[in-house]
Amino acid sequence: MSKISAMMDTGKRSLMNSQTALQTVGHNIANKSTEGFSRQRVELLSNVPIGEGGLQIGMGARAGVVTRVNNPWLEKQIQKEGMTMGFEDSRADGLSRVEQIYNEQNNKGLNQYVTDFFNGFRELSNNPESLASRTMVRETAVGMVKDFGRVTSQLRGVQEDLDAQIKTTIGEVNEITKEIASLNEKIQTVEVSKVPANDERDRRDLLLKKLGDKIDITWAEGKDGMVSVTAGRTAILVSGTGASELKARQTDTRDRMEIFYQGTGTPANVTEQISGGRIGGALDVRDHVIEDLLGHIDNLAYTLATEVNKAHIEGFDRNGKTGVLFFEQPESVKGAAANISMNKTIFNDVSRIAAGSRADAPGDNTVANVISSLQYKQVMDGGTATMDDYYNTQVGQVGAMVQRAVKSQESQKNVINQLTNIRESISGVSLDEETTKMIEFQKTYDASARLIKTADEMFDTVLNLKRL
């Protein structure tokens, strides 16, 4: 009798095991497209056999544990590469926008405005007496001044956009760290009873990847199953079940977003520490690339204004008066491109443009020739480059930078794709596989039911022994 009931028991457990397994298959199928999901597997164990005389009788199987198929080292690698990916992505985006400012392939840019300006003086030299050619000098100067303004304001515009991006991203970082902290708690609660918190761990792995995409983090899992996350070198974002926030705001000293770590004490400026993820990329473009370019464009504007002024003041205007400054002399190199402007006196009265080297010589074009010759003089970089060379080199460098950024973005994308493929080949759900398993467990279920039925019939046989 005990054997028949044991048989029934075994069948029943097997039925339940199949259900559990099928449930897991269902869970896998349902999460086929869930980001960061790792397929799960029910570990079936054979039950402890019962010794009966000289025999060991198997007691069927039981569901041990539901594990996820996952390689934590790979996950960590993906997370790390994802950080680089985020950096490269945001850097390439920012740089491509910077590139547009310097793109003169299809429309007029600073290079041409500068050439026009000098051609204006060449035209003036052809006909220094004429008001028309003087007006042309003014118009070309205004055009060039405007374009210096355009380049700086567009560069600053990109910086402001990057500021906004940084601010938004910091907000997202704070949301993610909060969720990681709460997942820490859940995982700990679940795993206290030695049951793996598969879905929560998947979710937490995913969030760590997402966080790394945004900002450079280091993280480690403690013995209690909780991860602690540090951004940069010192900003501890998640510790146990608690999360600390980052804040982006302007300081009194600088009109750019700086990142502050809101720990327990006073907020600490951690901007300098952030060198990875999307924020790191944005900071790099904002604080290094664009600042450099602004410096160069300022340098160009300053040199141009100063050199033209130096020559212009040597001359005499149409009425024989000594020359005034052509441009308002910029006070410093910094900000020169944004502030360069024509001297109001000249702007209002083009006859004040000084073309000649002598008073009372309306046909004298000596100074106009000196100014137009400036275009071919090596006045930049300590007398090694002309203004054209200097600017064109900038354009070339921006182009090269963008090209390099886009290339490393692409190759990083390949790295990520490859790693993701490896991850999918381990943890990804295959419908074919799940279907096969489904059939397998369905058959097991059928067979177990058949076993119970057989046991039931055996009971019947035993119970009906007398009537037979």
Site for another protein in 379-438 (CB under 8 A): 388-389, 391-393, 395-403, 406, 417, 420-421, 424-433, 435-436
| Interface positions, 67-106, toward another protein (CB under 8 A) | 96, 99-100, 102-106
111 binds another protein (CB under 8 A): yes
Q: Which of 61, 2, 8 is nearest to 457 (CA)?
A: 8
Of 67, 164, 251, 376, the one binding another protein (CB under 8 A) is: 376
Of 19, 154, 373, 454, the one binding another protein (CB under 8 A) is: 373
| Interface positions, 114-153, toward another protein (CB under 8 A) | 115-116, 118-119, 122-123, 125-127, 129-130
**Tokens 């009425």, residue?**
319
| Interface positions, 270-309, toward another protein (CB under 8 A) | 307
Of 270, 370, 451, 452, the one binding another protein (CB under 8 A) is: 370
**Tokens 């005990």, residue?**
2
**Tokens representing 225?**
């199953």
CB of 9 to another protein, least distance (A): 32
Q: What number of other Cβ atoms are within 10 A of residue 432's Cβ?
A: 7
377 binds another protein (CB under 8 A): yes
C-alpha of 95 from chain center? 12
CB of 249 to another protein, least distance (A): 34
Residue placing its CB nearer to another protein in the complex, 50 or 439: 439
C-alpha distances in Å from residue 218, one per residue of 14, 73, 76, 77, 236 = 45, 14, 10, 12, 9
Residue placing its CB nearer to another protein in the complex, 123 or 216: 123
| Interface positions, 33-52, toward another protein (CB under 8 A) | 33, 39
Residue placing its CB nearer to another protein in the complex, 41 or 122: 122
Residue placing its CB nearer to another protein in the complex, 252 or 360: 360
Of 357, 408, 442, 454, the one binding another protein (CB under 8 A) is: 357
| Interface positions, 435-454, toward another protein (CB under 8 A) | 435-436, 439
Residue placing its CB nearer to another protein in the complex, 126 or 348: 126
Quick check: 45 and 64 in contact, CB under 8 A?
yes
Of 187, 211, 259, 311, the one binding another protein (CB under 8 A) is: 311
Q: Which of 230, 243, 234, 212 is nearest to 76 (CA)?
A: 212
Surface-to-core class of residue 203, CB atoms within 10 Å of its CB (0-12 exposed, 13-18 middle, 19+ buried): buried
CB of 5 to another protein, least distance (A): 37
The count of chain residues that interact with another protein, using the rule CB under 8 A, is 78
